C-alpha cells in the first residue's frame, strides 16, 4: 500500500466515522483561473462542512497522495503553474517519481476508494468527445466509473462532449446514470436536455441504498449522479453553443490532442464568455457538493 497523507480534519473524521466527501483538484488547476479557483475550492469545502460532512480534496504533492489538504497546500496548488493532470494512466508514475499533480475524476475515484470514501463531488465528468469516431477521444473517467465503487455527483456533461455517445458508453460499461429531481439528463450549464437519464432518484437515501446494493450484488464500479444546475444560475444553451463551436475549432486549428483537449476547451470557454461560464460553474459545483454530503451522511455506517 502506498502511504496516504490525510489532513488533520480527515484524520479525525476517519477516526470518528464521520461522513466524508472527496473533491478533485484538476478542476482547481486546469478547470478555472486563479484566484477564483482557490475561492471555489475553499467555498466547496465549506459547503460540505455546512451540511455536516467532511471534505477531502485530493492531489499528489511531491510524490505523496494527499487526501484532504490544509489551507497552505490548497493555496500552493491553486497558484502553481504546469501542474500535471493525473488520470488513471499517470497517477502511479507521478507518485513513483516524486511529482506533483492534480487528480481528474478517474484519479480522484481511485484515491477515494483507497481512503474508504464512497462519495465524490465535482462539476462535470469527462466523456466521449465530439468527433470521437475519428479521434478516439474518450475520457478514462467513464471506464473508472465502471470499475471503482465511488458515487460521483456531477451536473451532467458539458456540450464540449458528445453527450449522447457519452451516455451510450456509460450504458455499455454498466454505469448507473441517475438524474436527480427530473427525468432529463442535465446539460451542465442548463438543467434540461433532449436526453433522458436512464434512472431518476430524488432522495439521497435512495442513491445511498443503490450504492450499497451494487456492492451487495458484487458489482464493481460506481454510480454517476446527474444533479441539475440551480435554476437561477442556468445559462441557455443557445448562448453557449456558438462559443463551444468556436473553442472546438480553435482546438482543432491549434492541433490540441490527448489530455490537453479538455483543459484547452475549458480555458477557451472561460475566455470567450468573459467569465459568465465561471459563475454558473461555481453554482453547480457548490450544489453538487451539498448533494454529495447528503448522500455521504446516508451512507455512513
Q: Are 125 and 152 in contact (CB under 8 A)?
A: yes
**Which residues ranging from 262 to 301 are in contact with ligand PSU (CB under 6 A)?**
262, 266
Gap between the Cα atoms of 136 and 129, Å rounded: 8
Site string for Mn ion, 104-143 (x = CB under 5 A): ---------------------------------x------
Cell 475524476 identifies what position?
A: 105
SS3 187: strand
* Residue with smaller CB distance to Mn ion, 181 or 263: 263
Shortest distance, position 194 Cβ to ligand PSU, whole Å: 19
By the 10 Å C-beta count (0-12 exposed, 13-18 middle, 19+ buried), 242 is classed as exposed
Q: Are 146 and 125 in contact (CB under 8 A)?
A: no
Q: Assess whether 158 carries a catalytic annotation.
A: yes
By the 10 Å C-beta count (0-12 exposed, 13-18 middle, 19+ buried), 80 is classed as middle
Q: Are 71 and 8 in contact (CB under 8 A)?
A: no
Q: Which residue among 68, 101, 124, 176 contacts ligand PSU (CB under 6 A)? A: 124
Catalytic residue of the set 9, 24, 234, 298:
24
User: Contact between 224 and ligand PSU (CB under 6 A)?
Assistant: no
* Residue with smaller CB distance to ligand PSU, 13 or 84: 84
Q: Assess whether 271 carries a catalytic annotation.
A: no
From the list Mn ion, ligand PSU, none, partner contacted by residue 176 (C-beta under 5 to 8 A by kind)? none
* Residue with smaller CB distance to ligand PSU, 47 or 137: 137
Catalytic residue of the set 85, 144, 158, 234:
158
For 39, 55, 251, 296, 298, the CA distances from 49, given in Å and listed in that order, are: 15, 7, 38, 12, 15
Footprint on this chain of ligand PSU (rule: CB under 6 A): 24, 26-27, 31, 87, 104-105, 123-126, 139-141, 158, 259, 262, 266
Footprint on this chain of Mn ion (rule: CB under 5 A): 137
Catalytic residues: 24, 158
Amino acid at each position: 500500500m502506498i502511504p496516504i497523507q490525510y489532513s488533520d480534519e480527515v484524520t479525525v473524521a476517519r477516526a470518528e466515522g464521520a461522513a466524508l466527501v472527496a473533491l478533485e483538484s484538476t478542476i482547481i488547476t486546469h478547470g478555472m483561473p486563479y484566484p477564483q479557483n482557490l475561492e471555489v475550492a475553499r467555498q466547496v469545502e465549506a459547503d460540505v462542512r455546512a451540511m455536516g460532512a467532511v471534505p477531502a480534496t485530493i492531489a499528489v504533492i511531491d510524490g505523496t497522495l494527499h487526501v484532504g489538504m490544509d489551507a497552505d497546500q490548497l493555496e500552493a496548488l491553486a497558484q502553481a503553474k504546469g501542474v500535471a493532470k493525473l488520470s488513471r494512466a499517470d497517477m502511479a508514475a507521478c507518485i513513483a517519481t516524486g511529482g506533483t499533480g492534480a487528480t481528474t475524476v478517474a484519479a480522484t475515484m481511485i484515491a477515494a476508494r483507497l481512503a474508504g470514501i464512497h462519495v465524490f463531488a465535482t462539476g462535470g465528468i469527462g466523456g466521449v468527445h465530439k468527433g470521437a469516431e475519428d479521434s478516439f477521444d474518450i475520457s478514462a473517467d467513464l471506464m473508472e466509473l465502471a470499475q471503482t465503487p465511488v458515487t460521483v455527483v456531477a451536473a451532467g456533461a458539458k456540450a464540449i462532449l458528445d453527450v449522447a455517445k457519452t451516455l451510450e458508453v456509460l450504458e455499455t460499461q454498466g454505469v448507473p446514470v441517475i438524474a436527480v429531481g427530473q427525468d432529463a439528463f442535465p446539460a451542465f450549464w442548463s438543467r434540461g436536455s433532449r436526453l433522458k437519464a436512464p434512472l431518476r432518484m430524488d432522495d439521497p437515501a435512495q442513491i445511498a441504498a443503490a450504492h450499497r446494493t451494487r456492492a451487495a450484488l458484487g458489482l464493481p464500479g460506481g454510480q454517476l449522479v446527474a444533479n441539475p444546475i440551480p435554476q437561477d444560475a442556468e445559462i441557455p444553451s443557445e448562448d453557449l453553443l456558438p462559443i463551444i463551436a468556436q473553442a472546438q475549432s480553435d482546438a482543432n486549428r491549434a492541433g490540441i490532442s490527448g489530455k490537453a483537449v479538455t483543459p484547452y476547451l475549458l480555458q477557451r470557454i472561460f475566455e470567450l464568455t468573459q467569465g459568465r461560464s465561471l459563475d454558473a460553474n461555481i453554482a453547480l459545483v457548490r450544489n453538487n457538493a451539498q448533494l454529495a454530503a447528503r448522500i455521504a451522511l446516508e451512507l455512513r455506517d
